[in-house]
Chains A and B, each alone.
Chain A
Amino acid sequence: MANSLLETDQHRLALSISGSGGTGAVTVGLILLDAVAKAGFYGNMTRAFGPQIRGGESAVMLHFSDQPIETLAEFSELHLALDWVKFDRFEDEIPLTSSSLVIYDNSREKPPGLVKESGATLIGLDLQAIVKTLKGSRLNMVALGVVAQQIGLASHFIEAALQKTLGRKGPEVVTTSMAAVSAGMTLLTDTPLPGLADWHPTQTPRWNISGNEACGLGALRGGLKFAAAYPITPATDIVEYLAKPLAQTGGNLLIAEDELAAMNMVIGASFGGVPSMTSTSGPGLSLMTEAMGLAVAAEIPALVVTVMRGGPSTGIPTKSEQSDLNQALYALHGDAPHLVIAPLNIQESATVSQWSLRLSEALQTLVILVTDQHLGQTRMIMNPVEALDLNLQRSQPSAANEETSYQRYQLTETAISPMSIPGMTALQYTADGLTHSESGLPSSRAEDHAQQLHKRADKLSQFEYGDRWACTIPTAKAKFTIITWGSSFEAVKEAVETLNRQGAAISLIGLRLIMPLRTETLIELTQQQKVLVIEQNDSAQLYHYLLSQKAIPIDSDALAEPGPLLFKPTDLMPRIQTWMEGQL
């Protein structure tokens, strides 16, 4: 079994598929993912692309299990190469070892040197010959059959998945494709892979969902009624997903002319009383920062989802990195307290985004929800997640106040002021980015400035966020604590759990609420501990932030590495051990 180093009691299977020029590698991946799901299992699928818009080389990596799984595989057990064009681009994403089985189309290029050097078992098949015998068939469908046979996936699951993806093109398309799949299934009957044979399928309903979709779904559950955005990879999927559901639920989507507009549109809609959000990535977030400050100053609820990619500048737009934390924390000018929240994995993306939208409403402030390309674009087969039952509402002035003069930015016990919305009689006010007094009128007095600054900070710091602020996994008698966030969490968690099974005692903290930081709780959890902060960026942004807040001991360490390659549990384990020995 693969991943033996991890000693997991889960069944796992790692596949990858590559091809260029529209050979349909991604389609095969999507159909396989859905078919394995229909067979009663879990899995995730990540992608890698060349820079071309169409016809470029692309690859998908699939990790299946009989239990929910978010981590990437150590190496690819079965790789299917529809062709070998530019395969070297995927050397990092598709690690091949001597245990790997590589199947490729013999009629095309020969396997490149790096594949041969890996020691993998290479099997060339004459797929093209089959295609020629079957009218209207495609090579990728024949190859799909080969893979299905290799992993022990019954053809009716493939047929059901094909029905879903290709069904709208007509029944003939499905029939032709199935003929090709069936032909492929007979090509190579022997297999060294244990496959899905002795896995226990579940009967429970499961979702086929990407992290970006989950993020959009959570916002919808939170009552989202307005979104505005300008397209940017890897965030566009969020608004593309939202377009239809928003229309279905009586909301609106505005395609902005740029991110400067998108953020201001969100502020305008939210000022109108409607829960609103935008989504973007680093470069777009840069353009939004001035208006984000306006949302903070004028106390307008607004959710901004930023899906990080490699930076700076255009960086690596199609791949993941956790290097925009500083941007989310510090990009705003002035003292501009706001919330920075990050989901730890795809499975919780919907709940965390629902929570984020409701927090923006209840606290009348800007919430930056930070995810990344991996969390956003990975497609998962996972258990459905229930919507949260949150009572986080925008505070509105009561009708009783109407006769006395309304103070939009009134100082209150909770530091949250009742917010009227257009249409409410006798509660008109002018929202302003200028420093203002309680009434909302511009003021440059030191006292008003300090009062309103403190009010905006206090309403965030005094709020009771409950235990959703982090995922803490304490271990008895632990002397070591690891802190991480976002897409690094799953790999770190698996590494820590494995080491603990092997006798180590390490506690784990995955931070969701990064700003305002639960500093006191963190101090409690980490005092007397040796602390390591793990994150996927070059400058150790979270580590330095935690140190600056004095939330972790001064002698804490960092394990920070730039993207775009995600951490893998097996890479992390020896490094964590070295750190525990004081050698990092």
Chain B
Amino acid sequence: MSLEQIPVKKARPNDYTSNEHPVWCPGCGHFFILRALTKALAWLNISKQDIGLVSGIGCSSRLPAYLDVYGFHGIHGRALALASGLKLARPDLTVIAAGGDGDGYSIGGNHFIHACRRNMDITYIVMDNEVYGMTKGQPSPTTDPEWHSKLAPNGTGLSSFNPMGIALASGASFIARGFSGDPNGLTKILTEAIQHQGFSLVEIKSPCVTFRPEQKDWHKSMRLMNVTPFANPMEAAQAIYGSDGFDTGIYYQADSPVYRSEASSKKNGTASEQMDIIEKALLV
């Protein structure tokens, strides 16, 4: 290929960063997710003003402030609901929701299920550190049963939640696991997820160096990008339940019906003509 044939990049990752610097604990996995996201957006060359990035509350949910896009740092657990309203009202936007395992799977668990079920064209990034980082290290739904903490001195004794399995069962059409310590693979997954038409869950293992320092060793166990996407939920289920949680890649990608705005299927006539019809219907 000659120089001229190769497409020239238009946007750069740094174009998407805001003037606000992240203050996550040095070494926190969330840093690498932020960078991978800006790289994916740059690669896709999406205009900054056409991106809506919605989060909840948590260390992870601080993400929007660090990007120069239309962001919404909402309330704990409700990012997906807010993002769904935004996407339906503004189908032209690229809508991304982001947050932590506590935000998405615990307090926001119901919204998670129903966002999967609606299968709107939203990318959902979960920065899973298997702990509530922001409130100082309490067990979350993805924490392993034996992990000792102040709140559960002997561990919770509860088996952990399988977010990808729930997403599959609930109707999400794109399901992937990433690792924040794999910048390239993660960028690839995020790029595909944003491009995917439908609800994409990107569950990212992201170490919390402060409350789960042992997660620094995650990189030793991860098997990067070693799954192939299935379009058949049965096969995907096998891959999801067959993994010990350390295999990254896209597990499931299907062409399922996407819940879209009806605004475009508007009846004939202007809105004010329609209002006349609506008002006339009230007459005796």
Contacts and interface: CB of A to CB of B under 8 A. Distances in A.
Taking the complex as a whole, does A directly touch B, i.e. does some CB pair lie under 8 Å apart?
yes
A249 interface: yes
9 tightest A-B CB contacts, nearest first: A268-B85, A265-B85, A430-B71, A269-B89, A264-B81, A268-B86, A261-B81, A268-B82, A272-B90
Given A294-B75, A422-B49, A431-B71, A252 B284 contact: no
B113 to A, nearest CB: 8
A2 interface: no
Interface in A410-465: 421-434, 441-442
User: Interface of chain A, helix or strand or loop or mixed?
Assistant: mixed
A267 B82 contact: yes
Contacts of A247: 262, 265-267
B199 interface: no
Interface in B238-284: 261-263, 265-267, 271, 274-275, 277-279, 282-284
Interface of A: 34, 37-38, 205-209, 213, 217, 220-221, 225-226, 228, 245, 247-252, 254, 256-258, 260-262, 264-274, 276, 290-291, 293-294, 298, 381, 384, 421-434, 441-442
B114 interface: yes
A247 B277 CA distance: 13
Given A422-B52, A423-B49, A228 B282 contact: no
A423 B93 contact: yes
B110 A268 contact: no
A279 to B, nearest CB: 15
Interface in B11-51: 18, 20, 47-51
A92 B51 CA distance: 57
Given A248-B267, A270-B85, 16 more contacts: A208-B282, A226-B88, A249-B271, A250-B266, A252-B88, A257-B114, A260-B78, A260-B81, A261-B78, A265-B81, A267-B74, A269-B85, A270-B89, A273-B89, A426-B49, A428-B71
Interface stretch (B62-70, B137-145, B186-194, B220-228): B62-70
A132 B65 CA distance: 75
Contacts of B263: 225, 250-252
Nearest to A223: B271
Contacts of B69: 428
B75 A291 contact: yes
B219 interface: no
A276 B111 CA distance: 20
Nearest to B83: A268
Interface residues of B, number: 52
A442 B65 contact: yes
Contacts of B77: 260
B119 interface: no
A19 B191 CA distance: 63
A248 B277 contact: yes
A384 B82 contact: no
Given A250-B266, A422-B50, A272 B86 contact: yes
A269 B75 contact: no
A209 B282 contact: yes
Contacts of A217: 278-279, 282
Contacts of A426: 49
A10 B20 CA distance: 69
A221 to B, nearest CB: 7
Contacts of B93: 272, 422-423
Nearest to A426: B49
Interface in B103-133: 110-111, 113-114
B71 A272 contact: no
A90 B68 CA distance: 62
B86 A430 contact: no
Contact of B284 (A38, A269, A431): A38
A254 B84 contact: yes
B168 interface: no
A329 to B, nearest CB: 21
The CB with the most chain B CB atoms within 10 A, among A267, A381, A442, is that of A267
B54 interface: yes
Given A34-B284, A207-B282, A442-B65, A429 B86 contact: no
Contacts of A271: 52, 70, 72, 82, 86
Contacts of B278: 217, 220, 245, 248-249
A424 B92 CA distance: 13
Contacts of A264: 74-75, 78, 81-82, 85
Contacts of B83: 268
B39 to A, nearest CB: 19
Contacts of A276: 85, 89
A254 B88 contact: yes
Contact of B261 (A37, A245, A252, A428): A252
Contacts of A290: 75
A111 to B, nearest CB: 34
Nearest to B62: A442
With most chain B CB atoms within 10 A of its CB, the pick from A34, A269, A427 is A269
Interface centre among A213, A252, A265, A267 (most CB of B within 10 A): A265
B84 A268 contact: yes
A272 B73 CA distance: 14
Given A257-B110, A423-B50, A432-B73, A252 B282 contact: no
Contacts of A432: 65, 72-73
A260 B49 CA distance: 28
Nearest to B94: A422
Contacts of B89: 225-226, 252, 268-270, 272-274, 276
A250 B271 contact: yes
Chain B CB within 10 A, most for which of A205, A264, A294 = A264
A208 B262 contact: no
Nearest to B16: A428
A164 to B, nearest CB: 9
A262 B88 CA distance: 13
A265 B75 contact: no
A245 to B, nearest CB: 5
Contacts of B90: 269, 272-274, 422-423
B49 A428 contact: yes
26 contacts: A206-B283, A207-B282, A225-B89, A228-B85, A248-B267, A248-B274, A249-B275, A250-B271, A256-B81, A257-B81, A257-B110, A257-B111, A257-B114, A265-B84, A268-B86, A268-B87, A269-B90, A271-B86, A276-B89, A290-B75, A426-B49, A428-B49, A430-B70, A433-B73, A441-B20, A441-B65
